[in-house]
Amino acid sequence: MKKIALSGAGGQLGAVLRTALIARGVPLRSAAGSKPLVPLVDGEDLMHGDLRDSAVVDRLLQGVDVLIHLAGTSVEKPLPEIIENNLRALVEVYEGARRNGVRRIVFASSNHAIGMYPVIDKLDLDCALRPDGFYGLSKLWGEGLARMYWDKHGIESICVRIGSCIERPTEPRHLSTWFGHDDLLHFVDRCIEAEDVGFLVVWGVSANKRSWWDNSGAERLGFKPTQDAEAFAAEVLARPNPLDALGQRFQGGSFVGIDYSRDDIAAQRPVAVAA
């Protein structure tokens, strides 16, 4: 059975995956940042530390077949923090994978790499990247790094542009971006087991009727999502939309308005959610 490493195991998404993978008996090494994890089972393989440190990275990746890389800054922050956690640390991770013979990395990219597209646009996987901030920009850079390590070193990567990975949709934007937990676990299973993926980018999204993203490229993984946010539509649309006009117009939602200085009226006019 393949040995799996999970970075960012102390985060919201990491906690979901860690719990599920342990319950399935997957040989798992889980890593957090500065704060140690509390074991979920006796003898659990745990570690913590700064992934900018090559020795920490080697402890994480020794004997590992597949890394699920969720660690890093996951919200919009000043550029210096983004550079340290999402660029420098990612280079250390890929160099560590090269040293330790890790064959595949599942890289947590983000929908914020394309957040400046209007919600009326339907996007393919080969769309031009339009980040909505420094966080989204770091994911664009990470996808490029993953591509380079496949082309130059043969390390496979699956870059997943994660939408809104939460238990259930709570606002209108989620009707398009929701990535249900059942679909997440199915996706990770396919990332571990699929053969010969090379370099691949997929949308991390469920089979939502209102999805903005064409995920047909995920067929190479055997990923077939079954959840649909439409089941929650009536409940969600009965509540006020928490996003301002700008957030409702662009796919990046609330991230778009951070340090946004354009004053054009067209960019700020809301777009109605389709019935």
149 among known catalytic residues: no
Instruction: Please identify, in words, the CATH class of the domain defined by 4-268.
Output: alpha beta
Residue 264: exposed, middle, or buried by beta-carbon count in 10 A (0-12, 13-18, 19+)?
exposed
Half-sphere exposure of 113 (CA within 13 A, CB side): 27
- What is the model's pLDDT at position 34? 86
- Using CA atoms, how far residue 141 sits from 26, 83, 101, 109, 198, in Å, is 31, 10, 23, 10, 18
- What is the model's pLDDT at position 275? 44
Using CA atoms of 94, 100, 104, 108 in order, give the dihedral in degrees to the nearest 10.
-40
Return the structure tokens found at 150.
């496949």
Catalytic residue among 94, 117, 135, 149: 135
Query: Domain residue spans in the chain?
Result: 4-268
* b/e burial code for range 177-209 (CB count within 10 A of at least 16 → b): bbbbbebbebbbbbbbebeebebbbbbbbbbbe
Tens of pLDDT, residue by residue, the chain (275 residues): 799 999 999 999 999 999 999 999 999 999 999 889 999 999 999 999 999 999 999 999 999 999 999 999 999 999 999 999 999 999 999 999 999 999 999 999 999 999 999 999 999 999 999 999 999 999 999 999 999 999 999 999 999 999 999 999 999 999 999 999 999 999 999 999 999 999 999 999 999 999 999 999 898 999 999 999 999 999 999 999 999 999 999 999 999 999 999 987 555 555 655 44
Which uninterrupted H or E stretch holds 188? helix 181-193
Residue 50: exposed, middle, or buried by beta-carbon count in 10 A (0-12, 13-18, 19+)?
middle
**How much is the pTM?**
0.93
